[in-house]
């Protein structure tokens, strides 16, 4: 396992803007192609893809060999899977359906080592370089590099975005527009209005803003995103359909 000089979280803290792709397993060769293409990270989707830790480990190892960061999206409330992903070397977690500050606090507790959280501690995992780092060094590295992104996927979450992002240990947010549209009632503002509201909310201004984009990185960055995530399924299906006679 390589030891990257700067984590994705450190790069974002320094104001860098990054782009990556959301992929579902199994897709080891696609992960490698994304790294060769020069993307900054891959977001492996275990919420809507096969949540197989062994396959996830293969994806992590392959991305790491190319120096590309890996984020993991577990299923809703799957904190144990998120912990195992971090043990295998993931640099962060994109957590779906964070509805309140209480949800965000529970998420942070699960992902942080004591005394900040309750994550089980071990240095002999892949993230601990198989026991070759000190306990203090491993704890400090994990605390510094673990990126925590809360997905806001309902009108209630949008309304509580400021409180969610104020929780110590939550770095940023990603609006899940599909679930936002599915969960809103006829009395709620439109998805476009909800999206505009959370982006204009001064209580979210200091957080890392992650946007789902449909192939246009420059447009998303120009609109204010710091992290651009491309849905690789959408990108690939567009390319495949363009091949039709």
Please tell me whether residue 241 adopts helix, strand or coil conformation: helix
Burial of 28 (0-12, 13-18, 19+ CB in 10 A): middle
CA–CA dist 177, 144 (Å, integer): 29
CA–CA dist 167, 105 (Å, integer): 6
At 152, which helix (H) or strand (E)? strand 147-152
Quick check: 106 and 43 in contact, CB under 8 A?
A: no
Q: Give the residue among 169, 190, 170, 168 at the shortest CA–CA distance from 180.
A: 190
The answer to whether 58 is a known catalytic residue is: no
- Token pair 């909310």 in the structure block, residue: 201
CA–CA dist 140, 134 (Å, integer): 10
Active site residues: 48
């Amino acid at each position: 396992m390589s030891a990257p000089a700067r984590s994705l979280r450190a790069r974002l803290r320094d104001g860098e803007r990054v782009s990556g792709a959301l992929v579902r397993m199994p897709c080891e060769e696609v992960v490698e192609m994304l790294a060769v293409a020069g993307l900054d990270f891959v977001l492996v989707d275990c919420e809507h893809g096969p949540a197989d830790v062994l396959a996830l480990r293969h994806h992590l190892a392959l991305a790491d060999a190319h120096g590309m960061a890996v984020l993991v999206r577990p299923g809703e409330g799957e904190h144990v899977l998120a912990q195992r992903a971090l043990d295998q070397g993931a640099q962060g977690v994109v957590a779906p359906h964070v509805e309140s500050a209480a949800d965000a606090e529970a998420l942070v507790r699960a992902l942080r080592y004591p005394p900040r959280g309750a994550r089980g501690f071990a240095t002999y995992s892949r993230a601990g370089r198989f026991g070759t780092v000190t306990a203090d060094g491993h704890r400090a590295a994990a605390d510094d590099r673990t990126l925590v992104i809360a997905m806001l996927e309902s009108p209630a979450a949008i309304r509580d975005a400021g409180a969610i992002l104020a929780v110590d240990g939550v770095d940023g947010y990603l609006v899940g527009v599909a679930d936002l549209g599915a969960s809103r009632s006829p009395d709620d503002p439109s998805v476009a209005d909800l999206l505009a509201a959370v982006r204009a909310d001064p209580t979210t201004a200091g957080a890392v803003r992650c946007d789902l984009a449909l192939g246009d990185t420059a447009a998303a960055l120009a609109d204010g995103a710091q992290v651009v995530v491309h849905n690789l399924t959408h990108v690939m299906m567009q390319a495949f359909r363009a091949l039709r006679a």
